[in-house]
Amino acid sequence: MANPKREHLSLICDISELSNLMSESKDIDNFLQQVVHLVASHLNADVGSIYLLEANSGTLVLKATVGLHPDSVGRVRMEIGEGLVGWTLEQMAPVCEGEASRNPRFKYFETSKEERFQSFLSVPISYGSEKTGVLVVQHTDANYFNPADVMALKAIAAQLAGTIANARMMMTLNHAATPADAPTMPEGMQMFKGEAAVNGFALAPAMTMRSSDPLMEDVADDQFNAGLEDFRAAMAKTIGQLRQLQEQMVQRLPESAVLIFEAHHMILKDTRFVQQITQLITDGLPAPAAIRHAARHVIDLFEKSPNAYIREKSKDVEDLVRRLLFNLRKNPTTGQSPMDGRIVIATQLYPSDILKLASESVAGLILAGGGVTSHVAIIARSLNIPTIIAMYANLLKVPDNTLVLMDADVGTLYVDPSEEVRRQYDQRNRALRKTAGRGVKMVPETRTRDNARVHLMANINLLSELDLALELKAEGIGLYRSEFPFIVRSDLPSEEEQRLVYERLFNKMAQRPVWIRTLDVGGDKILPYLDMLQEDNPELGLRSIRFSLRHREIFDQQIRAILRAGVHAPSLGIMFPMVSSIDEFRTARQTVRQAIAALTNEKLPHHREPKLGAMIELPAMVEIIDELAREVDFLSIGTNDFTQYMLAADRANKHVAAYYQPYHPSVLRALARIIQRAADHQVPVSVCGEVAHQKDFVPFLIGVGLRRLSVDPQFLPALQRTIRAMSVTKAEEYARQLLSAATVAQVEKVRTDWAWGSDRA
């Protein structure tokens, strides 16, 4: 019997379903059992099973099933390559058989009682580059599963991969081993000057993320409730908080689409961990001491593991224990967690840290060492978390609960601010609130004073920024930075997960054009779950389109996801970053054409004629711009990287930052040439770098013929005011004078003479 038609796009596991499974399951075994019920239900299958790879033996073991005989759990074991299940993991590819017993690789286990199930479908489960297990569904009817089922099961496996990897980790670790047995700062107000990474203001108690005190040992024992019922109540409260925080995070950052607290849940579902704490309390140890004792054992096991992923999970144990202890306190402060409403001081933060802190509604972030990468700052900005980089080691000695005032608009922070300082900032903030909202009204069309039409687009990092872009009447998305769904996760997003993200983007923008930049990683944007090369000079290494063309399976999945998500988009543009030759563009273009052909063969709805463009970020493209313009549908100039590569100056390097000069005559002339050649070939061209919103650079761009600018949404109102105040005639004269300058000094004189923004201009 053929499989009845099912709408698989609605069958993919919802994040709330996974969160509910973890919250409601009694332990890890019960969680896995609920997972197979969910999977079998989603695919209308008679059997659902999970096989996990034992780390110590390298054997696949049946860990949970619905449909097979319950006695087979733990007893059915196969080597990699053995049977259809082992073959799935060896090949790291799906296996779909209409009559499984006819396949010579089929292996029958009498205990499983599976002889009546004919159709067999399995997909591998992997986390990063690590093989984790196999997900299987079966049905009594022959030829029941079809290609759509294969795609659906692959998508579900991808969504479950991280959670199952954590479950496998907790089941594998040997908990039977025998466990082994606050800084101060001078009092009085202190002021520090740092670098503003994300604008904003906060006045709140401090919480320092210190590795020296991960288990709250600086809190006196008499501050905690100590009994067994107190521990159980703290457990229940912690599980509820984790579930609520997860739901809030998915709303704020849909790209995460991942259970960021999955390891926390798995630890709480580990019966041995909970039983050890319970036994210690029963034997007379106070609850806080029992929790710390059991936690140290798990942390020690994690940190001694040869597996880097497991070693990293020791931080999750510390975080979980802080939450449990916080919920054990007799007089807890207001808030849902130890860091709720606090200004967090840390040495270094990663995207995963930002997600967890954002879910706890921290008031602000202070980076006192280690710095902040550009993508971490972008995530913090998108989540509206004021952030300051202040390289002062003694900030890490600020006692918890010390009042801190941070003005992230200018990078100033005060530890234990005086009443006078607080009063001054209160007055300033009241004045700002009175003027908030003024001057942000925008008209739908942007025109110069002499009526030349200019299109204003938005640069988008995260979906949470779309509302502001629409509110400010952006005419479309000129740059969607597609790497953030990769960066904010702890594993590679599947094709289906990417499709869901892009679909929200297209749906939100309705009839407006959307230009998506393909994956731009490398340089300072590292994906820790991939085995990326350690390069001496990553900015000149395997990054951007080079990375995608090297990792074709990742590139193919992304292109397919974009095409499927944009099936109804009226104007879909795909642009390739850091293109260095026409040959490279043609190779990337061929990948898109192959994806369209494959999707057509698979009868999957998709966009059939996307516009294909190139990002101009390398000087190499200037000399071949005419030939490139004949190949592309549009161009986008990334002036940040273009200037950096043109002048061999890293603007983030304080030693050479002065050499990074967008007003360098060579940069100006190269930009003018690109824009004018694109116009000659009637190819749309936009500028999406920082100069696109600078008041005295925009007239130059308009003066050399640019009519499309793409900026971060918050810059749109000021940019429109700048354009509406200028005339094309004056902008053209300004551009002619800049282009005639041969030195930086001469350029500066022209800029000073014109003084855009003043009454003279």
- DSSP three-state, residue 173: coil
* Contact indicator for 465, 477 with CB cutoff of 8 Å: no
Token pair of 559 as six digits: 């292109």
Give CA separation, 473 vs 122, 446, 514, 689, in Å.
47, 10, 14, 20
Token pair of 201 as six digits: 């203001």
* Contact indicator for 75, 62 with CB cutoff of 8 Å: yes
* Contact indicator for 442, 436 with CB cutoff of 8 Å: no
Q: Which of 265, 375, 607, 693 is catalytic?
A: 375
* Contact indicator for 358, 253 with CB cutoff of 8 Å: yes
Q: Which residue has the tokens 């008041």?
A: 695
User: Can you give the three-state secondary structure of 312-347, one letter per residue?
Assistant: HCHHHHHHHHHHHHHHHECCCCCCCCCCCCCEEEEC
- DSSP three-state, residue 278: helix
- DSSP three-state, residue 46: coil
Token pair of 189 as six digits: 């107000």
Q: Which residue has the tokens 């798990």?
A: 298
List the Cα angle 646/650/652 in 5-degree steps: 145
* Contact indicator for 628, 685 with CB cutoff of 8 Å: no
Sequence-distant (≥ 6) Cβ neighbours of residue 255 within 8 angstroms = 462, 463, 484, 485, 488, 489, 501
Neighbours of 540 (CB within 10 A): 12
The rounded Cα 496 to chain-centroid distance in angstroms is: 16
Please tell me the distance from the alpha carbon of residue 249 to that of residue 262, in angstroms, as a whole number: 13
| Beta-sheet pairing, 201-208 with 130-139 | unpaired
Q: Which of 139, 264, 664, 688 is catalytic?
A: 688
Q: How many helices (H) and strands (E) does the chain have?
A: 26, 23
Query: What's the residue count for the chain?
Result: 761
The answer to whether 13 is a known catalytic residue is no
Sequence-distant (≥ 6) Cβ neighbours of residue 58 within 8 angstroms = 79, 80
The answer to whether 375 is a known catalytic residue is yes
* Contact indicator for 324, 303 with CB cutoff of 8 Å: no
Neighbours of 102 (CB within 10 A): 10
Please tell me the distance from the alpha carbon of residue 227 to that of residue 674, in angstroms, as a whole number: 72
> Which residues carry out catalysis?
375, 688
